[in-house]
Amino acid sequence: MSEVASELSNLTEDARREYESDMDSLHILPLNIIPFDLSGLKRAKMIKNARLETVIEMFRDNSAGSGQIRVEEASEVFSVPGEGPHPDIIKLQRLASLNSFDVYTLRVELREIGVPVNDFTELKLSKSKNVELTEYMREFTRPLLSQIYSKSEVEITDVNQMINLFKDPDHGKAIENLKKFASSLNVEVSEIPKFLEDYGDIFLSLVYFKNCLEPIGPRIEEFIKSMEDLRNNFQLKSDKNLIETSILVEKILSNVSASISNRLNSFQHDSNEMWNNINAETFDRVKRVIASHHSSIGGVLCGLAVKMSLWNERFGNGKGGPLAQADFVLSEMRHGIEKIAEVEASAPKVSDR
């Protein structure tokens, strides 16, 4: 049993749900999955705050709020011994450079920046999140299933079920189709389950990202409507700074959300087209392309999710007056918004694939 799994087995039900929620999120990294020498860090989290700054959250509760420290303050807070940079501080600085803490970005980026984890098998979504993604996953598994089974024969609810189905096909026609499928990939039939694990993981990441994007769109539309109302408010319509800031924020949110949606739709189209001429080369190409976008997609969605969740929490469903909204736009919404545009601009060009 891994160190993290051992810790989880001792958690209360509420603490376990909190941990799983953190692992399903884009903006929270439970630091207990990273091997640290400083024991205090194992009880903390790294988060993206409202301004999209990366900070260490020492505690959070309903009465005291969130206790945060900057990464630069960690040496002093944790009384780091010695003169030179402590290995744990170096890890924190590298982690702070990540645009998103979703499990798919972490799988790629932690290796890139040289930060180990206690067990990479812990970098996975919770069971409840996987159930939530079932409907999305059917879109991606349907082309694969149609290669082996007729549509009426089987209904898949998760990736593991799909893998098990291909490990033990239940009738002659499916076995025959499975052999043809293996031949097109230039692999042995026995290697199909490994292929399916790769397929399931890479395309489950698209499913996850689509799921993250779904609630953001309506919130952006609500925000844009609120900005129009603010700019027409008799108390605020002469505030040049507010007008310019609201237009800038609105433009960035609209542009990056449209761009990220286009990218995800493009990848889904590629995955569907792949099955028209499936072979090892086409699969590897599509897999590499999608993986190359994990970091930027995660980063953009992380920024959008943090900003729009906070706006919805403060002002959704008509809460808050125009003056409070204006102050929030000039402070929390404005700060960090351009980071989202920068991450989107850094993404590989879809047209260059």
Q: Does residue 136 share a domain with residue 114?
A: no
Judge contact between 298 and 209, C-beta under 8 A.
yes
Q: Domain check: are 260 and 141 in the same one?
A: yes
Same domain for 185 and 84: no
Q: Say whether both 168 and 313 belong to one domain.
A: yes
Q: State whether 233 and 168 are in the same domain.
A: yes
Looking at 93, 110, 128, the residue that finishes a domain is 128
In terms of domains, do 41 and 84 share one?
yes
- Which one of 108, 128, 148 terminates a domain? 128
pLDDT of residue 165: 67
pLDDT score of 156: 63
Taking a C-beta distance cutoff of 8 angstroms, is the pair 54, 45 a contact?
no
Is residue 222 located within the same domain as residue 313?
A: yes
d(CA 353, CA 269): 13
Q: Which residue segment(s) compose the domain that 41 sits in?
A: 3-128
Partner residues linked to 29 by β-bridges: 46
Q: Are residues 29 and 77 in the same domain?
A: yes
Instruction: Please report, in tens digits, the pLDDT of each residue of the chain (353 residues total).
Output: 456 555 656 668 888 888 899 999 999 999 999 999 888 898 899 999 989 999 999 988 877 778 899 999 998 888 887 777 889 999 999 999 999 999 988 988 888 888 888 777 778 888 889 888 877 777 777 777 777 776 545 666 666 676 676 666 666 777 788 888 888 888 888 887 777 777 777 778 888 999 999 999 999 999 999 999 999 999 999 999 999 999 999 999 999 999 999 999 999 888 888 888 888 888 888 888 988 899 999 999 999 999 999 999 999 888 899 999 999 999 999 999 999 999 999 998 875 44
Domain count, the chain: 2
Neighbours of 41 (CB within 10 A): 23
Distance, in Å, from the CA atom of 314 to the CA atom of 214, rounded to the nearest integer, reads: 20
160 and 23 both lie in a single domain: no
Residues 14 and 150 in one domain: no
Report d(CA 162, CA 131) in Å as an integer: 14
Reference 292, options 353, 224, 234; nearest CA is 353
Domain identity same for 58 and 100: yes
Res 352: pLDDT: 47
Tell me if 144 sits within 8 A of 155, measured CB to CB. Answer: no
Residue 48: alpha-carbon gap to chain centroid: 13
Hey, how many other C-beta atoms are within 10 angstroms of the C-beta on 211?
18
> Within this chain, do residues 63 and 186 fall inside the same structural domain, yes or no?
no
Domain end residue (candidates: 105, 128, 151): 128
